[in-house]
Amino acid sequence: MNHTPPIFIHSTGHIAHRPRILIVDDVLTNVQYLLDALKEDYQVNFELSGKAGIEFAHQYRPDLILLDAMMPEMDGFSVCAQLRAHAETSAIPIIIVTSLDSPEDEARALEIGASDFMPKSVNLAVLRARVRTQLTMKRQGDMLRSLTLADPLTGLSNRRALDATIAKEWRRCARSQVPLSMILADLDHFKSFNDAYGHPAGDDCLKAVAKVFIQAAQRPQDLVARYGGEEFVILLPEVDLLGAEIVAGGVMVALKTLNMAHAASDTGSRVTTSMGVASIVPGMQAPEILLSTADTFLYRAKNLGRDQFVSGMVGV
């Protein structure tokens, strides 16, 4: 259960823009002590068991977790190990706050991936300082990861980010047995565009087309990536084939409206794209089958004359 009673949540300011801290402790007096120290500066939630804390962390991805070591059923060491074992939660800073104080306990916590180890009797000023330190380190790490996962020209996700997201969404959609769809697009005759207009104009074209794809995929969970060169991908979790076809059709209309000149194209007088649209309810197959199917449909679209999309279900 997500515990967010109004008495514990500071109501001023813009909570959505403040770091979210999760407290996991089975004793409410301990929870209250930590809340009183942090509620003025952070969005604070709490859970009263290790299992509930893990579920919250997977659903909401807090920026930091304050974790009690000694809890019934599942102790903090086990919770920390489980969170570190999953890609979705492995980067969340975890501070173990405990009545244990031996060097062996601290070493054990750090060995399983805790970011810090503090006694429950810690001074509140020290607690706030350590929280700030961990949040600063996380913010810096997030910025570094975002730089390594973004395409420098278009600002879209890059191939590395796409691969990671496909793997994550494949697992999630498989658990829920909901569809996962993909649009793989390739700009038509883009080499001829670069030859005719020059590479700076080609870069401007790619940036303009990237905006078209971003506008077509409007939900927060949709991912738009530059797959390489003049290829783009839209990943659509929980969208069936018909929904993906609607998105692909929107791309076609938007490119027509953009009406960017391409006098060297054999397909028409403007920039166009060919697309493969594939959908699947993930199961035992490897995630790569979604991309390979979309790629097959993309080349069918090219062979049919370009400036169109071909779509279908994986394996059909």
Residue 304 pLDDT exceeds 70: yes
Chain segment 121-138, per-residue pLDDT in tens = 888 899 999 999 999 999
**Is 288 assigned a catalytic role?**
no
Strand partners for 47: 24
Which of 106, 169, 230, 245 is catalytic? The answer is: 230
Q: Name which of 43, 42, 30, 57 is nearest 4 in CA terms.
A: 43
Whole-angstrom distance, CA of residue 82 vs CA of residue 80: 5
Q: How far is CA 147 from CA 135, 142, 191, 210, 268, in A?
A: 18, 9, 27, 18, 36
Helix, coil or strand: residue 13: coil
Copy the structure tokens of residue 257: 């409206």
* CB-CB neighbours of 4 under 10 Å: 11
Contact 237, 192 (CB under 8 A): no
17 confidence band (pLDDT: 50, 70, 90): low
Q: Please, what is the average pLDDT of the chain?
A: 91
Contact 204, 255 (CB under 8 A): no
pLDDT attached to residue 5? 40
Query: pTM for the whole thing?
Result: 0.64
Contact 86, 58 (CB under 8 A): yes
AA letter at 140: Q
Choose the weakest-confidence range: 14-18, 211-215, 305-309: 14-18
* Cα 105–Cα 138–Cα 149 angle in degrees, nearest 5: 130
What is the pLDDT averaged over residues 72-95? 92
Q: What is the DSSP letter of 208?
A: H
Q: Do domains 6-148 and 159-313 have the same CATH topology?
A: no
Residue 10 pLDDT exceeds 70: no
CATH 2.40.110.20 assigned to domain 6-148? The reply is: no
What is the pLDDT averaged over residues 217-230? 92
Whole-angstrom distance, CA of residue 165 vs CA of residue 159: 10
The structural domains of the chain, with segments of one domain joined by +, span 6-148, 159-313
Query: For residue 8, what are the contacts with CB-CB under 8 A and spacing of at least 6?
Result: 32, 35, 39, 44, 46
Choose the weakest-confidence range: 14-18, 108-112, 231-235, 302-306: 14-18
CATH tag for 159-313 (out of 3.40.140.10, 3.40.30.10, 3.30.70.270, 3.40.630.40):
3.30.70.270
